[in-house]
Amino acid sequence: MVTQAEVTGLDGNDGMLEAIRWRQGTSGEDVRRPIRHLFLFIGAEPNTNWLFGSGVMLDAKGFVLTGRDIADERRSLETSRRGVFAIGDVRSGSVKRVAAAVGEGAQVVATLHAHLAASGQESPVVANR
């Protein structure tokens, strides 16, 4: 595994990868190696700067804190602001996979209904065909 590197070129023939060139981030050294397979893992950075000052707590990396990361009695997926929920990759501690994000989206509906019932508001009407 090569980390902190910038891919600068892919060499090959007939659509087949033969070598990869990259610049090593730490030393700036240009490297070329005969490699036939490449998996890029570019990572993720949460776009949550706009939440500063909103009362929604973030972890040290900027992911949104929810549930027990805030307080024991906090609802699952609920942020530090009552009635505000976070799901998917932006949520601190989430699995960072498509199926997990979709699952949290389904899960939060029940939590929203529970929140609305507890706060004396009606649940939103969901229209079906």
Ligand X SMILES: Cc1cc2nc3c(=O)[nH]c(=O)nc-3n(C[C@H](O)[C@H](O)[C@H](O)COP(=O)(O)OP(=O)(O)OC[C@H]3O[C@@H](n4cnc5c(N)ncnc54)[C@H](O)[C@@H]3O)c2cc1C
The answer to whether 66 and 77 have CB atoms below 8 angstroms apart is yes
Q: Out of 32, 82, 97, 113, point to the residue binding ligand X (CB under 6 A).
A: 97
Supply the minimum distance, in Å, between the C-beta of residue 78 and ligand X.
Answer: 17
Supply the minimum distance, in Å, between the C-beta of residue 56 and ligand X.
Answer: 13
The residue number with the shortest CB distance to ligand X is 88
Q: Which stretch binds ligand X (CB under 6 A): 3-11, 13-21, 91-99, 117-125?
A: 91-99
Supply the minimum distance, in Å, between the C-beta of residue 73 and ligand X.
Answer: 25
The answer to whether 99 and 107 have CB atoms below 8 angstroms apart is no
Question: Which residues fall within 8 angstroms of residue 10, CB to CB, at 6 or more apart?
Answer: 17, 19, 20, 21, 38
Is residue 50 at the binding interface for ligand X, with CB under 6 A as the rule? Answer: yes
Is residue 98 at the binding interface for ligand X, with CB under 6 A as the rule? Answer: yes
Q: Out of 44, 109, 117, 118, point to the residue binding ligand X (CB under 6 A).
A: 44
How far is residue 47 from each of residues 4, 31, 90, measured CA to CA in Å? 21, 32, 8
The CA distance from 89 to 51, in Å, is 16
